[in-house]
Structure 1
Amino acid sequence: MSFNDEVFRTLSTEQSLAYLADVQPGRVVMRRKDDIEIFPVNFVVDGEAIYFRTAEGAKLFTLALNHDVLFEADGLEGETAWSVIVKGTAEVLEKPEEVAHAETLGLKPWAPTLKYNWVRITATDISGREFEVGEEPERY
């Protein structure tokens, strides 16, 4: 067992999703050819999927070029810090029944703007870890 194994605890998928369901905002990382973009979003978790809303613009344009995304959120509960990363595929919802389902999730934009586009990230991998916040150990 390494020192890192004593400090960092691996979260189960269920623990990771529970942390995500209780924090805002998250960050979506997208690749556009030779460039990488990161966008803060407010979101909702539904099963192992993550939903967010967006207006026309950079996120939507970048998503049209590459559906592979990373989603990340982190937080602090008492003295426990955590971080969750979701690898997945993002798609703009177009089927009326999918949009109707997304509308039932109760997600409202934070910014006073119209966001007509729903995006669903379908997870292919969910990983998380947590640790107790503490002082740096002696170096020497």
Structure 2
Amino acid sequence: MSENQDAVSVLTEDECWERLGSQRVGRIVTRVGDVVDVVPLNFVLDGRSAVFRTAPGNKLVELTINDSVLLEVDEIGEESGWSVVLRGHARVLESEADIAAVEALPLRPFVPTLKPTFVRIEAESIGGREYRFGPEPRREDQQEG
């Protein structure tokens, strides 16, 4: 057995939520027809959902056409890394109660721009992997199965 067989491990759902909550920047993936966009954004967790702020533009238009999105977050170190993908549906918050609740979250734009629209990604599923880095194994040391 190669020492590299344990290089990738699947994270539990709770581990995925913990890792996702440890970060503030991720990438949202949207799709409209044949067009797939990947956009960085800052976010916070609110229970088992993610909330971000945005302004009028392509991202907001795309979310109104197709609310199915992915939020991908990762962390890469010297010896290991991990990646978590949250699949869900994005919903623009419109009620005063919803907006008041998320305004209390520690969510501020990173750049000095007005981002008046709050969006919640309701989780459909979450999954992730942890990676331990190291040298590529030698082909001759691998067992054929």
Q: TM-score, normalised on structure 2?
A: 0.89
| Residues 30, 69 of structure 2: 8 Å contact kept | yes
Name 2:65's counterpart in structure 1: 65
| Residues 44, 107 of structure 2: 8 Å contact kept | yes
Amino acid at match of 1:22: S
The whole-number CA distance in structure 1 between the counterparts of 2:5 and 2:89 is 30
Name 2:135's counterpart in structure 1: 135
Point out where structure 1 has 5 or more consecutive residues left out of the alignment: none
Name 2:53's counterpart in structure 1: 53
1:91 aligns with 2:91: yes
Name 1:42's counterpart in structure 2: 42
SS at match of 1:42: strand
> Residues 62 and 101 of structure 1: is their aligned pair in 2 closer, same or farther, counting only changes over 3 Å?
same
SS at match of 1:50: strand
The whole-number CA distance in structure 2 between the counterparts of 1:105 and 1:77 is 28
TM superposition shift of 1:74: 0.5
The whole-number CA distance in structure 2 between the counterparts of 1:115 and 1:82 is 29
Point out where structure 2 has 5 or more consecutive residues left out of the alignment: 141-145
Name 2:111's counterpart in structure 1: 111
Amino acid at match of 2:51: Y
| Residues 7, 133 of structure 2: 8 Å contact kept | no
Q: TM-score, normalised on structure 1?
A: 0.91
1:5-51 alpha-carbon deviations (Å, 9 max, x no partner): 63211111111111111123101000112211111000001111001
**Number of aligned pairs?**
140
CA root-mean-square deviation: 2.1
> Residues 4 and 118 of structure 1: is their aligned pair in 2 closer, same or farther, counting only changes over 3 Å?
farther
The whole-number CA distance in structure 2 between the counterparts of 1:106 and 1:21 is 12
Amino acid at match of 1:108: R
The whole-number CA distance in structure 1 between the counterparts of 2:4 and 2:109 is 38
